[in-house]
A = this chain, B = another copy of it.
Amino acid sequence: MTLRAVGFDGDDTLWHSETRFHVTQGEFRDLLQRHAPEADVDKRLAQMEMANLAIYGYGVKSFTLSMLETAIELTQGRIPASDLEVILGWGKRMLTQPTELLPGVEEALRLVAPDLDLYLITKGDLFDQESKLARSGLGDLFLGVEILSEKNEETYRGVFSRRAIKPEEFVMVGNSLRSDIVPVVQLGGRAVHIPYVVTWEHEHVPEDELPRQGWRRITSIAELPEVLKDL
C-alpha cells in the first residue's frame, strides 16, 4: 500500500541527545571519584536509573534525580551539598542547551514533506520534548506531535487511532530498534532504522528478536528520501 504518513523519533534521530547524557555522565564520574575512588559509578547509576524508571519515567529531570540519589548513596552521605548543586546545574544545562540537529535532517524532512504527512513521535518528558522541538526550528514541518511516556505496540496503536492512520500506510524512522522499529513492524507498519553513534543500553534488542522483514537500515537520514520511494 502507498505510504501516507511518516513518523520521526526525535532524540538521536533528528537531534543529538544521548551524547549529552554521556558527557554529563563523564563529569559525574569524575566528580564522584573524588569522594569514592573505588566505586563503579556508571554501573550504580545505570541500576539507579532502571530502579527509578517506573517512578520517574524518562528524561533529563529523571536522570538528574537519579544522579543525585546515586551520589548520596555511593558516598554514604559524605558528598557536600555544594557538589550536589553542581549536579543540579548539569540538569539545567541539559534542559536549556540549543537543540543540535543531526547532519542532513532539515534537508531530508523538506524533501519528504511535500509527499507525506510528517509526525514527530518521541518518548520522554513532555515539557522537555516540546521545548526541544520549539528550539529546533522544525515545528512547522510536522502535521502532529505525539509525546509518549513509552513506545510500544499499545501506544503506537493509540497514535494510529487518534490520527486515523492505517499501519500499512505508515513508516517509522528512528534510532532505537526497541522503541521505533519492532513495535511498528509488529503492528503491520514499516520502519527505517538509523543507528546513532551511542545507544542507551535499555534500548538494545537481541538480533534474533528482530522482525525479519518490514524494515530497513540506513546509515544517515540523508538516504531517507530515496529509501522511502521503494520501501
Contacts and interface: CB of A to CB of B under 8 A. Distances in A.
Contacts of A80: 77, 81
Interface of A: 55-59, 61-62, 64-65, 68-69, 71-73, 75, 77-82, 84-85, 88, 91-92, 95-96, 125-128, 130, 144, 147-149, 162
Q: Copies per complex?
A: 2
Contacts of A78: 81
Contacts of A149: 126-127, 130
Nearest to A126: B126
15 contacts: A55-B92, A56-B95, A59-B127, A61-B61, A69-B85, A71-B81, A72-B88, A75-B81, A77-B80, A77-B82, A78-B81, A125-B125, A125-B126, A126-B149, A162-B162
A50 to B, nearest CB: 15
Task: With a 10 A CB-CB cut-off, give which of A82, A127, A130 has the most chain B CB atoms.
Answer: A127
Given A61-B61, A64-B65, A65-B88, A127 B81 contact: no
A59 B59 CA distance: 13
A64 B84 CA distance: 14
B126 A95 contact: no
A61 B56 contact: yes
A37 B68 CA distance: 25
A61 to B, nearest CB: 4
Nearest to A64: B65
B88 A127 contact: no
B65 A128 contact: no
Contacts of A144: 162
